Amino acid sequence: MSQQEAVKSLRTLGLSNYEAQVFVALQQLGSGTAQEVSDFSDVPRSQVYGAADDLAERGLVEVVEASPKAYRPVALSTARDILTDRLETETDRAFDHLESIRTMESGPRDDQDISTLRGRQPINDRIATLVQSATHTVVFVSPAAEATTDRIADALRVAGTDEVDVTVVTADDALEDVFADSPVSVFVMSQDNPADFAGRALMVDDRTVLLAAETDDEPIEEEALWTGDSSIGRILSTFMRSGMESGRKRQQE
C-alpha cells in the first residue's frame, strides 16, 4: 500500500487529512519533531503541532517531552484497536440516533412507485424483508444455491411455516436439500427446459415484485428494482406466474 493509500484509509477510519499524514509520517520516521515530520510530509510545520496533539489525545501518539518536543507513534496493534473501537462506537451512535428519528419502514409511497437498489447486501436484505411481509404467496427465483443466503432461506422457511405458499424456482438441485425439512416447495428446472435465468426474482402476494441482475459495474455486483403492493407489481406478477406455469408444463412433457 502506498503512502497516499494509507492516508486515504486512515481518513476513512475517522482521522483528518493532516492527522492521517502525520501518523503515516511517524510510522516511517519512528519518531520525530514537528519540523522533521513537516520535512517528511506535505503538512506545514504549524499544522503538525495541532494534528500530533490531536493524535496524542486519541491515544495514537506519544509525546516526547524534549527540546524541541517530539512525537512517537504507538504500536500498530494498539492503533488498530483504538480506531476499530472508535469506528464501532460512532457507528452504534449514528444508528441509535437514526433509529430514534425514523418514523416508518421505507417503501413505495403510492401504487406506481418503483424503487432501485445497488449492491448485493442491500438486495439480500430487501428480499428477506419482503418475504417476511407475505400473507399468502411467495415465489423466489434463485438461479443457483448461492443466490439464496442464509437469511433469505430462513425467511422463506418461516413464511412457509406461517401457512404462506412458498415456492423456490431454480436450476440448482442443491436447494432441494436446503429446504428438505421445510414446507418450502422447490421447483428445479431440468436441463431440457429452455428457461434462461437473467437473475434473481421475487414475487410476494401477487402484487409485490423484485427483479435483480448481476452487473459488471465494479464494485457493485448486482442491481435490482422492486415495486410493492402496486398495479405495476400485479402486472409483473402475472408475467412471472405465466412463465413459471410454462416451465412446469415443459417439465411434465
Tens of pLDDT, residue by residue over 93-112, are 888 888 887 765 555 544 45
Beta-bridged to residue 169, according to DSSP, are 141, 187
CATH 3.30.870.10 domain position(s) in the chain: 115-252
End-to-end Cα spacing for the chain: 59
Is the Cβ–Cβ distance between 60 and 74 less than 8 Å?
yes
Is the Cβ–Cβ distance between 198 and 213 less than 8 Å?
yes
Architecture of the domain made up of 115-252: 2-Layer Sandwich (3.30)
Beta-bridged to residue 1, according to DSSP, are none
φ, ψ of residue 91 in degrees (nearest 5): -65, -45
Q: What is the DSSP letter of 190?
A: P
Counting every residue written for the chain, the total comes to 253
Angle 196-198-199 from CA coordinates, rounded to 5°? 125
Cα dihedral value 129, 135, 137, 138, nearest 10: 10
Instruction: Give the pLDDT of residue 246.
Output: 62
Instruction: Give the pLDDT of residue 163.
Output: 86
Is pTM beyond 0.75? Reply is no
CATH 1.10.10.10 domain position(s) in the chain: 3-92
Cβ of 87: how many Cβ atoms within 10 Å? 13
- Helix or strand or coil: residue 228? coil
Name the amino acid, one letter, at 16: S
Is the Cβ–Cβ distance between 136 and 164 less than 8 Å?
yes
Distance CA(148)–CA(230), nearest Å, equals 25
Angle 44-46-51 from CA coordinates, rounded to 5°? 85
**153 has pLDDT over 90:** yes
Q: What would the pLDDT profile of 193-247 be if each residue is shown by its tens digit?
A: 545 577 899 999 988 889 999 887 766 688 998 887 777 777 777 777 766 666 5
Instruction: Give the pLDDT of residue 219.
Output: 67
**158 has pLDDT over 90:** yes
Chain mean position to CA 6: 23
CATH number of the 3-92 domain: 1.10.10.10
